[in-house]
Structure 1
Amino acid sequence: MTSTIATETARPQANPRRPRPSLPRTGPRIGTTLAITIGLTASMAPALLPRTAEAQAMVGGVLIAVCLAVAGSARMLLRRWDFDINRPWAAYRLPAASVGAVVVSGAVVHACHWQNRLRAAMDFAPIGIGYWMRCALLTVVIAGVPIGLARGLRWLVRRLGFARSAGLAVVAVLATQFALLPAVVDWRRTAYASANAEMDPTVVQPVSHTRSGGADSAVSWPSLGAEGRKFVSGQPARGVRVYVGLESAPELNSRVALALRELERSGGLNRSNLVMVVPTGSGWIDANAAAGLDQRFGGDVALVGLQYSEAPSWATFVFGRTAAEQSARTLFTAIEQRLSTMPHPPHLYIYGQSLGATAGSAIFTNDQDQRHRLCAALWAGPPADRVHHAGATILANSSDPVVQWSPRLLWHAPDLTDTRPDAPRPQWLPVISFIQTSTDLMSALAPSAGHGHRYGIDQGTAMGTC
């Protein structure tokens, strides 16, 4: 009897949750394969502009990291629900990886064909095997950085525990908000100010009284800023060119008053035509536009511009668009009032490119207001075509990502009615077209005039009439 009890006592108890036998791993997880395939294929979808190997690797690496993060999150949720998707599909890992490799190879062939079509249309050199080798190497490096950071953070959380990790995260967020970001902002402001003040020895100070910055001008040569100096010294020299920089006067109203005095002094109000030119964010005025306007009016024209920022257009568009619109509206209103006092005023026009087009169009409440107060307007490369059209000429290349970019690209095809075909057009794809167009913004100014966000002298010659 004792032996029987001992035997029953020694008998192992049944374990209701025995560990499942591990299956042989014959390739990456199905989710990992799917994530890498989707990320790489999406990154190589047809784009608007030719892309460098570095840019292609950047978008590919970021998309792979994002897709892997989504796959990892989905795997964690399924495990919490006690559902391991990898077990029933473990036998298909290697075939899935093979299919993924075939899909990615096909995407590479198609992307190579598309990129070379774009490059042929825009006079770029074709790409070859060296391009894709650099892409592959850089993509691995770029994708590896966020993956390594994520794994490092996961290790840190396990090491410190949730409470300590949460406290450390709060400290990092506060340090970023109150120390790192202000330091970066101050650094960029200093860099923009330095670029604006830099004196280019190849830009010669004008001697003509018809240009701002000359000996008899109330606007000093240094105060014009780098882009203003290029504008007033540009050719041809037939028309009047007035420009007032951010450093030319302490605040907006005084800069506007100075611009009007410059128009009086230079004889700009005695010309038959007056064009208010709205610069881009850094104060840049396209030399092609200035030359085209001079050609359009046979030199009988005065061009006037007012700087409102030292930062590039993208930064001003995001953080300082109100300043751009206020500057354009204040200058136009002052010019309009001055012309109303003249018995024979010049014909009034307005021109703007990119952010300058958006700011210039914001002067007017609607299309009818724009038609009533102007002879004509010309908008070149307007962002998302957000400008008034009445009495205006719209120049928009079909390959210009600035014209097409909008959050609506996530779910809606762009309206290409006002664009002029200059290169092969990619088919719109939900989400993917938004990603590709966002990436193309980085190289929007890389092509020559007539492609991307570059425009030629037709910015002036295409100006309408009264």
Structure 2
Amino acid sequence: MVLRRAPHPVGLAVALFFFAQSMTPSLLPRVWYLQGVATGISVATGYGLGCLVAWILRRCGVQPQWSATTRRYGWWVLAAVAVVVIPTFLVLGSWWQQIVRELVGLERLERLLYLPVLPVAVLVALVLIAMARILRFGVVWLSALSARFMPDGVAKVAAIVVVVVLLVVIFDHGLYRGILSVAEGSAAASDHGTADGVNRPAAPERSGSPDSFEDWDTLGREGRTFVAGGPTADEIADATGEPALTPIRAYVGKESADTVAEGAERVVAELERAGAFERSVVAVVTTTGRGWVNENVAGALEFVSGGDSAIAAMQYSFLPSPLAFLADRETPQDAGRALFDAVYERWDELPEDARPKLVVFGESLGSYGGQAAFASGDSIVELTDGALLVGTPNFAEPWGRITEGRDEGSFERLPVVDGGRNIRFASVPDDADLPAEWELPRVVFWQHASDPITWWSFDLILHKPDWLREPLGPDVDPGMRWIPFVTFWQVTLDMVFSAEVPDGHGHSYGVDAVDLWADILPPSGWSSDDTIRVREALSGRSQNAELQATAE
């Protein structure tokens, strides 16, 4: 029976090494079951690599003839090493996780909770190894069958091709599309709901209000939350000590338009209706997949601008960002281009001395989609009056080209571009303070050293990135190391709860947005005291929202 075949000792030895390495720290703390999955995948990968090396050596004629006694001693040595290594690295892994939790501001957990890592890892590894053996058996069986009708070499190649094609059909047209179909249906149904405590706005400055062209019910769950939220004119005035306006929030849901181009046109119509082009700042934001906008980033802009602002956004998918990206990588970019182009076209029609400042922002998949409107960093500087791009995924452009072309000697996690003349990178606001004069327009890429969304890449499988060659960020465990294959799966699993950590770490971006907007759009007479008061006001709003959600 193919599943009963004895394990290969070389495969087990390499698997044991990968087990130990998988317990080392990465960017964020992992709950025990995610650590178990990461470890299980790493163990299966190590076993497969060990078997591959042994197979290659055999094909090269290296076939040691060990005696039965030597083999028996070898198994005993391997077992003894495993008895030492496995519990040792389980203990070390739980200790490392406590250190990572402290670095990102989380409380310590009982280390005994880490014990289930081992059974989960073993189960995951056994399932993956069993699947690999079944595939190998399928290739061998098909090859033997085909060899009756064609040369042996051709039969082996044909068998491999058939198995690969079957896998693609099963996973792409079966599991993958089936899961996405179910997820999209569920997400679309959920989109009709409204979060607790969210009520239809009465202010004409908001989409979905009685004066709006957009029906409240068409905005989607995240859209309704967005237009119903944000600081009021009184709250802004209390924080800044200056008269304030009610900020404009224009939003169009996916149900309102058949295409992203039509949705963008409807957003512009909402901006026109609300008088957005008479404000001092118009911001174009590309949302995440299901239409989410970071309230901290949006609210900070409204506080800093004294409410004399308008934010334009639209929903382009029902799916959360990870699934939206897997399902369709083009639509976020199409939406980002369509919305910016539509707003820019209307803005460009205004007399130069009557134009509001035009800025862009977006987070995560929103940053990825929003950047599609620009060919380069210079293009962002040329076409806008500023930008705040948050938690940018590693596959986004022009972020990738800008990072790659950074000034010599600057770090990948905090690049310096052209001395920081217009474009700057920051993990915390002070990172944006460089010796060179910061000219207008100002662009900030806001990214945390511990954000796996920014640093995840398929290149991690076999390539050590610069951000792991250079000094690590202050909230990343100094013990993090790059290990082929292992680091990729560690960072992949880090992404699952990357936003469930305190602000300032991982993929959680909070009130530091106030400092960054004050840098990008420096208000006349603005002081550090103003920044402190606005940070406190914005933080208070966030805490109240969390308390209300908990109570409900």
TM-score bin, normalised by smaller chain: 0.7 to 0.9
Q: Which amino acid aligns with 2:308?
A: D
Q: CA 1:300–1:418 in 2, change beyond 3 Å: closer, same or farther?
A: farther
**Match for residue 231 of structure 1 among 192, 203, 226:** 226
**What is the Cα deviation at residue 162 of structure 1?**
4.3
Aligned twin of 2:260: 252
Other structure's SS at 1:304 match: strand
Instruction: Tell me, yes or no, if structure 1 residue 445 matches structure 2 residue 491.
Output: no
**What is the Cα deviation at residue 364 of structure 1?**
1.6
**Match for residue 422 of structure 1 among 470, 475, 494:** 475
Q: CA 1:334–1:426 in 2, change beyond 3 Å: closer, same or farther?
A: farther
CA contact (8 A) 1:271 1:301 kept: yes
Q: Please list the CA deviations of residues 430-451 of structure 1 after superposition, one character each: whole Å capped at 9, or x if unmatched.
A: 4243332222122212212211
**What is the Cα deviation at residue 65 of structure 1?**
2.0
Q: Please list the CA deviations of residues 88-137 of structure 1 after superposition, one character each: whole Å capped at 9, or x if unmatched.
A: 55423322332343334443343223211111233323244422321122
**What is the Cα deviation at residue 175 of structure 1?**
5.6
CA contact (8 A) 1:244 1:307 kept: yes
Q: CA 1:383–1:124 in 2, change beyond 3 Å: closer, same or farther?
A: same
Q: Which amino acid aligns with 1:203?
A: V
Q: CA 1:445–1:230 in 2, change beyond 3 Å: closer, same or farther?
A: same
Aligned twin of 2:542: none
Instruction: Tell me, yes or no, if structure 1 residue 380 matches structure 2 residue 436.
Output: no
Q: CA 1:418–1:275 in 2, change beyond 3 Å: closer, same or farther?
A: farther
Residue pairs, 1:317-332, within 5 angstroms: 317-332=325-340
Distance in 2 between residues matched to 1:443 and 1:181, nearest whole Å: 22
Structure 2: runs of 5+ lacking an equivalent:
1-5, 147-155, 233-245, 403-416, 418-422, 424-441, 523-552
**Match for residue 83 of structure 1 among 38, 59, 63:** 63
Q: CA 1:178–1:189 in 2, change beyond 3 Å: closer, same or farther?
A: same
**What is the Cα deviation at residue 55 of structure 1?**
0.3
Aligned twin of 2:364: 354
**Match for residue 263 of structure 1 among 271, 278, 292:** 271
Residue pairs, 1:88-127, within 5 angstroms: 88-127=70-109
> Could you tell which deviates more after superposition, 449-458 or 324-333?
324-333
Identity %: 29
Q: CA 1:351–1:420 in 2, change beyond 3 Å: closer, same or farther?
A: farther
Instruction: Tell me, yes or no, if structure 1 residue 139 matches structure 2 residue 118.
Output: no
Aligned twin of 1:465: 521
> Could you tell which deviates more after superposition, 332-341 or 100-109?
100-109
Aligned twin of 1:299: 307
Residue pairs, 1:330-349, within 5 angstroms: 330-343=338-351, 344-349=354-359
Aligned twin of 1:363: 373
Instruction: Tell me, yes or no, if structure 1 residue 455 matches structure 2 residue 434.
Output: no
Distance in 1 between residues matched to 2:382 and 2:141, nearest whole Å: 70
Q: Which amino acid aligns with 1:276?
A: V
**What is the Cα deviation at residue 339 of structure 1?**
1.8
Q: Which amino acid aligns with 2:96?
A: W
**What is the Cα deviation at residue 453 of structure 1?**
0.5
Q: Which amino acid aligns with 2:345?
A: Q
**What is the Cα deviation at residue 40 of structure 1?**
0.9
Distance in 2 between residues matched to 1:347 and 1:308, nearest whole Å: 25
**What is the Cα deviation at residue 300 of structure 1?**
1.4
Distance in 2 between residues matched to 1:418 and 1:206, nearest whole Å: 48
Q: CA 1:85–1:286 in 2, change beyond 3 Å: closer, same or farther?
A: farther
CA contact (8 A) 1:296 1:461 kept: no
**What is the Cα deviation at residue 214 of structure 1?**
1.0
Q: CA 1:419–1:336 in 2, change beyond 3 Å: closer, same or farther?
A: farther
Distance in 1 between residues matched to 2:473 and 2:349, nearest whole Å: 40
> Could you tell which deviates more after superposition, 122-131 or 249-258?
122-131
Instruction: Tell me, yes or no, if structure 1 residue 411 matches structure 2 residue 406.
Output: no
Other structure's SS at 1:462 match: helix
Aligned twin of 2:526: none
Q: Which amino acid aligns with 1:413?
A: P
Q: CA 1:79–1:322 in 2, change beyond 3 Å: closer, same or farther?
A: closer
**What is the Cα deviation at residue 84 of structure 1?**
4.7
Q: Which amino acid aligns with 1:289?
A: V
Distance in 1 between residues matched to 2:171 and 2:290, nearest whole Å: 27
Q: Which amino acid aligns with 1:424?
A: D
Q: Please list the CA deviations of residues 13-39 of structure 1 after superposition, one character each: whole Å capped at 9, or x if unmatched.
A: xxxxxxxxxxxxxx9864254133122
Aligned twin of 1:6: none
Pairwise CA RMSD of aligned residues?
Answer: 3.2
Q: Which amino acid aligns with 1:40?
A: F
Q: Which amino acid aligns with 1:441?
A: M
Other structure's SS at 1:140 match: helix
CA contact (8 A) 1:239 1:300 kept: yes
Other structure's SS at 1:202 match: coil
Distance in 1 between residues matched to 2:110 and 2:210, nearest whole Å: 55
Q: CA 1:127–1:383 in 2, change beyond 3 Å: closer, same or farther?
A: same
Aligned residue pairs: how many? 440
Aligned twin of 1:9: none
Distance in 1 between residues matched to 2:472 and 2:74, nearest whole Å: 48
Residue pairs, 1:277-296, within 5 angstroms: 277-296=285-304
Other structure's SS at 1:456 match: coil
Q: CA 1:277–1:172 in 2, change beyond 3 Å: closer, same or farther?
A: closer
Larger Rg: 1
Q: Please list the CA deviations of residues 322-374 of structure 1 after superposition, one character each: whole Å capped at 9, or x if unmatched.
A: 22222222221222221223231211111111121122222122222211211
Instruction: Tell me, yes or no, if structure 1 residue 37 matches structure 2 residue 88.
Output: no
CA contact (8 A) 2:247 2:307 kept: yes
